[in-house]
Structure 1
Amino acid sequence: MTKKILSISSGSPGQAIANITMLASISKEITSQLEVPPDDILNALSLSNSISSWNHETQLWLLTYLQHDWWQKLKNTQLLAKFTQARKQLLHHVTPRSVWDNLLLP
């Protein structure tokens, strides 16, 4: 986890501390389920339901974290496009549940 946090912090100690704090605020159960994209529809919907109830800032942070993490593991350009779309949608007030369903459903 530390390597992931340092990587998304762009060399900023203050940002690293903020990222560690943000990651600590997310349940270990959810972060462990998001090590890779869900391959089960029910699990994806359950995760989407949980995440979409979080505050906007936490959801945007999780997008950044997952985008970096999944890119390092999978190198999937289609997944990058889904993250770009998800970020735009969240910033334009699309229903969070729809955004996370689109991102997480296999």
Structure 2
Amino acid sequence: MAITSQASDDGQELTILIQGRFDFGAHQEFRDAYERISTSPKRYVIDLKGATYLDSSALGMLLLLRDHAGGESAAISLINCSPDVRKILTISNFEQLFRIS
């Protein structure tokens, strides 16, 4: 599992790239990706292009990010979802909470 984060030049957007299995083993690495940055982004982009697996703990981590980012007013996009990952997000009704593309 490799999770990297990159803030935009203006610090308004944080992109978090997930590679491999997105499960409980990634919990601390995922939290560090958004908590240990020096900026306060207004938008978050979670790039799931390299995610090969996503489980219920990953869904919980996304909800923790949502709370951290402002709850209902949070601007979080989940992008580059594989068909399998998208199916899990759809079944979990995450389309109600996040922008998914």
Q: The TM-score by the shorter chain falls in which range?
A: 0.3 to 0.5
* Alignment TM-score, normalising by the size of structure 1: 0.33
Between the two structures, name the one with larger relative contact order (CA 8 Å, sep ≥ 6): 1
* Alignment TM-score, normalising by the size of structure 2: 0.34
Q: Which has the higher helix share?
A: 1
